[in-house]
Amino acid sequence: MTLSVCLRHTFPGFDLDVTFEARPGVTVLFGASGSGKTTLINAVAGLLRPDTARIAAGNWVLVDTAARCFLPPHRRRLGYIFQEGRLFPHMSVRQNLLYGRWFAPRDAKREDFGRVVDLLGIGHLLDRRPGALSGGEKQRVAIGRALLAAPKLILADEPLAALDEARKAEILPYFERLRDAVDIPILYVSHSSAEVARLATTVVALRDGKVTAMGSPQQVLGDVAAMGARGAASILTARVVAHHADGLSALDGAGGRMWLPRVAHEPGAVIRVRIAAQDVILSRARPEGLSALNILTGTITEIHPGQGPGALVTLAMGEDRLIARVTRRAVAAMGVEPGQTCHAVIKSVAIAPQDVGMVRALPDEDAR
């Protein structure tokens, strides 16, 4: 089922005008605060009445202002995961989890309660009250509550923004599992490119109420116009080979062997790794005697000079694209041109654990 959104809404001093489609998998609405992400997701949820809109999930119309149709939120069959959790304080965790199920139609396809509780690791919390939970636990319960409402669409509004780094690292894998375990579209609002890299099947980048870029995370994160030169990043896929005693993991990707700070995934797992463009150094010859452990080899496909002193150089490594942010002076001095073979140097420690995620459908178009 595909969610199609076409929406215009005017606030004093702010116009939102957005059209996009969300396929099964995670569609990340990506942008800075004030870009209109939350307004958009609230319009999909029915918590906001847009001026002009048509929002439909498959052929099921949620809003069509032209036809004077507006489905109230309780009839939209949603699982909305809020930034602040919004658990009901007067109910136990179990009652919170079962709240939506009670209102779901009898013939709805239900998630198994035990399976969801296991997936989220909240079995030991069932008889507690939300007030007694940590931030990460609350958010896991909120995910479970949304999932158990038998939703046709899952919405998540910056579900990790209120958590510290350790809690984010705790919750992100659950969203990865969710993406891989349920076959419904997930609309996920975020301003973090690390979350985009780990979770997104499709990215819709927003700025000032307009869509600035749309596509796979590789495309959008590498899009300087949407990300800005400092935000540009690439996503490489790699297979975990082994974990070593010195705290590093060996991975094999299309560009060669990589060494990363120990990743949480078992050998054999295929993972995606986000690499910020400004963490990449280029070299025409294969460098030797370097402290940096990762030297990947690829073919230059594109050189994109910026307006300032910088330039973005894209290297093809099999299916993957690696973007390096270097100076225009360096591009001239090295004499690099598209078609040449080039080496990319990346420090292992530049890659943080939150940059590493499970792969499912990395969005190659033929998989759909």
Partner 1 sequence: MPEAITTWLGPDEWQAVWLSLRVAFWATLVSLPLGIFVAYALARWEFPGKQVLNGLVHMPLILPPVVTGYLLLITLGRRGSVGQFLEEWFGIVVAFRWTGAAIAAGVMAFPLMVRAIRLAVEAVDPKLEAAAATLGASKPWVFATVTLPLILPGVIAGAILAFAKAIGEFGATITFVSNIPGETRTIPSAIYAFLQVPGGQEAAGRLVIVAIIIAMAALILSEFIARRVAKRVSGS
Q: Nearer Cβ to partner 1, position 155 or 224? A: 155
Q: Is 339 in the site for partner 1 (CB under 8 A)?
A: no
CA 120/CA 132 separation, integer angstroms: 17
Q: Nearer Cβ to partner 1, position 96 or 202? A: 96
**Nearest 5°: CA angle at 160, between 156 and 166?**
155
Residue 150's Cβ-side half-sphere holds a number of Cα atoms within 13 Å equal to 16
Confirm if 156 and 96 have CB atoms less than 8 A apart. no
**In the complex, minimum distance from the CB of residue 338 to partner 1, in angstroms, rounded to a whole number:** 49
Among 67, 74, 183, 365, which residue interacts with partner 1 (rule: CB under 8 A)? 74
What is the x/- site pattern for partner 1, positions 84-103, by CB under 8 A? Answer: x-xxxxxx-------xx-xx
Q: Is 106 in the site for partner 1 (CB under 8 A)?
A: no
**In the complex, minimum distance from the CB of residue 179 to partner 1, in angstroms, rounded to a whole number:** 20
**In the complex, minimum distance from the CB of residue 45 to partner 1, in angstroms, rounded to a whole number:** 6
Confirm if 42 and 158 have CB atoms less than 8 A apart. no
**# binding residues, partner 1 (CB under 8 A):** 33
CA 361/CA 106 separation, integer angstroms: 32
Q: Is 175 in the site for partner 1 (CB under 8 A)?
A: no
Q: Is 45 in the site for partner 1 (CB under 8 A)?
A: yes
CA 265/CA 132 separation, integer angstroms: 31
Q: How many CB atoms lie within 10 A of CB 58?
A: 11
**In the complex, minimum distance from the CB of residue 47 to partner 1, in angstroms, rounded to a whole number:** 5
Q: Nearer Cβ to partner 1, position 100 or 357? A: 100
Q: Is 78 in the site for partner 1 (CB under 8 A)?
A: yes
Q: Which of 202, 347, 354 is nearest to 280 (CA)?
A: 347
- Residues 6 or more apart whose CB falls under 8 angstroms from that of 29 comprise 37, 40, 41, 187, 188, 189, 190, 204, 206
Handedness of CA 85, 87, 92, 98 (dihedral sign): negative
Among 73, 173, 261, 306, which residue interacts with partner 1 (rule: CB under 8 A)? 73
What is the x/- site pattern for partner 1, positions 126-145, by CB under 8 A? Answer: ---xxxx------------x
**In the complex, minimum distance from the CB of residue 135 to partner 1, in angstroms, rounded to a whole number:** 14
Q: Applying CB under 8 A, which residues contact partner 1?
A: 45-47, 72-80, 82, 84, 86-91, 99-100, 102-104, 129-132, 145-146, 149, 155
